[in-house]
Amino acid sequence: MAAEVLVFNLLSGIAIVSAAAMIMMRNPVHSAIALVITFVNVAAVFIMLRAEFLAVVQIIVYTGAILVLILFVLMLVNPDELPDFHGARPMQQIFGFGLGIILLAEIAVAILTRTVVAEPGPWTEDGMAAVGGNVQAIGQVLYSGYVLPIQATALVLLAATIGALFLGRPDEDEEPTPSRRTVATISLAHTRGSDQDEIPALSSANIKHEAGDRDLIMARDADEFTSTPEDDQKGQQE
């Protein structure tokens, strides 16, 4: 049995060391590679803990998908243009490590002084073998007791996909075409927009000429027309 512990310790050691390396690395690409090592080791730990299916999922989703995605993003961000920085401000570093140490101490005390008591379930090694293995067991439990949550998760994933499409859509054209704009003001003096043709200062033909193809319903004064699409654009960027 000692071999099992030895293997576990080895895997955990590599995982922890590479995790520490991940946050220490100066280059984000190196960090990502260190994270891959951690994840692979964690997947191995999962196998030791009778979670073969999750180990595979871990490799496929995390190392296969998410980290590749991260690396893609890293490539897209031009490293030369990144500001030269490594860590945060010194105070932030001190507080960060301090908090980490305190929390580690607390959790260590918790792990060593307390025991978790629970009723053992039916899914021992033999129990899983009886239904055909870990994947079958998970399938059985998942699709009998967690149908609604899994559908909700599917919805979340769908929403995330749409959100990603939205976030990643290409920028608008460099020179936006002036959008058709409707100027509607509430007139105090007339009811229900009846003063459409009661703009004494500017004749309607005049307005049409000045404002291009914009729709003009009514306005109280000429200032209403002085803002152009360019102005609006500037206002949005500020």
Within residues 47-86, the interface with other proteins by CB under 8 A covers 48-51, 53-54, 57-58, 61-62, 65-66, 69-70, 73-74, 76-77, 81-83, 85
Contacts 24+ apart (CB under 8 A), 201-204: none
Q: Which stretch binds other proteins (CB under 8 A): 37-45, 181-189, 211-219, 226-234?
A: 37-45
Residue 15 in contact with other proteins, rule: CB under 8 A: yes
* Cβ at position 153, least distance to other proteins in Å: 5
Contacting range for other proteins; rule: CB under 8 A; set: 119-127, 181-189, 214-222, 227-235 = 119-127
Q: Which residue in 204, 201, 185, 202 sits closest to 193, CA to CA?
A: 185
Q: From the CB of 199, what's the least distance to other proteins, in Å?
A: 35
Whole-angstrom Cα distance, residue 223 to residue 25?
58
Which residue, 31 or 218, is less far from other proteins as judged by CB?
31
Element (H, E) at 216: strand 215-216
Residue 94 or 201: the one with the smaller Cβ distance to other proteins is 94
Of the two residues 93 and 227, which places its CB atom closer to other proteins in the complex? 93
Distance CA 21, CA 92 (A): 19
Using CB under 8 A as the binding rule, whether residue 19 contacts other proteins is answered as yes
Counting contacts by CB under 8 A, is residue 132 touching other proteins? no
d(CA 22, CA 15): 10
Q: Sign of dihedral through CA atoms 23, 29, 34, 40? A: positive
Q: Which is nearer to other proteins, 42 or 219 (CB)?
A: 42
Tell me which long-range contacts 64-73 makes (C-beta under 8 A, separation of at least 24).
67/32, 67/35, 67/36, 67/39, 70/32, 71/29, 71/32
What tokens appear for 238 in the block? 């500020």
10 binds other proteins (CB under 8 A): no
Measured from the CB atom, is 113 or 182 closer to other proteins?
113
Q: Binders of other proteins among 188-217, rule CB under 8 A?
A: none
Interface with other proteins includes 92 (CB under 8 A)? yes
- Say how far apart CA 228 and CA 136 lie, in whole Å: 65
